[in-house]
Amino acid sequence: MSSSEVGRQYAGARSGRAMSRWLPPPALLGFVLLLVVMFGLSYAVGRAVGPVAPAMHGTGAGSGSGGGDGGGMGGMDMDHGSGG
């Protein structure tokens, strides 16, 4: 075996070791894969089921009215925690 062959074998082993050093642990890869699969499944179920409250509208925060009716809680006693 010549010195150039030994040098190539050493370089190949060293680059392979350096490459494996930069890979994340298999458990981390498995966890990320599990997250991706769970997100995909939840997205698919959400698309199949549809909106939870189709009649619900936005709060209209951009209207600048500043007032409101308490979010539809008319008739509720709001004196909780007043101490007397």
What is the model's pLDDT at position 45?
95
Residues with Cβ within 8 Å of residue 44, at least 6 apart in sequence: none
pLDDT value of residue 34: 98
- If we measure between CA atoms, which residue out of 75, 72, 74, 68 comes closest to residue 55? 72
Read off the tokens for 17: 């070791």
Return mean pLDDT, the chain: 73
d(CA 10, CA 14): 6
**CA dist., res. 49 & res. 2, Å (int):** 69
Q: Place 57 in a pLDDT band, splitting at 50, 70 and 90.
A: confident
Residue 24 binned pLDDT confidence (cut-offs 50, 70, 90): confident
- Region 5-19 average pLDDT: 59
Looking at the predicted structure, is the pLDDT value of residue 20 above 90?
Answer: no
pTM (global) more than 0.85 = no
The encoded tokens of residue 51 equal 């909106």
Q: Provide CB contacts within 8 A for 61, sequence distance 6+.
A: none
Identify each DSSP E strand in the chain by its residue range: none
> Residue ranges per domain, the chain?
25-49
pLDDT digits (tens, 9 = 90+) for 25-51: 999 999 999 999 999 999 999 999 988
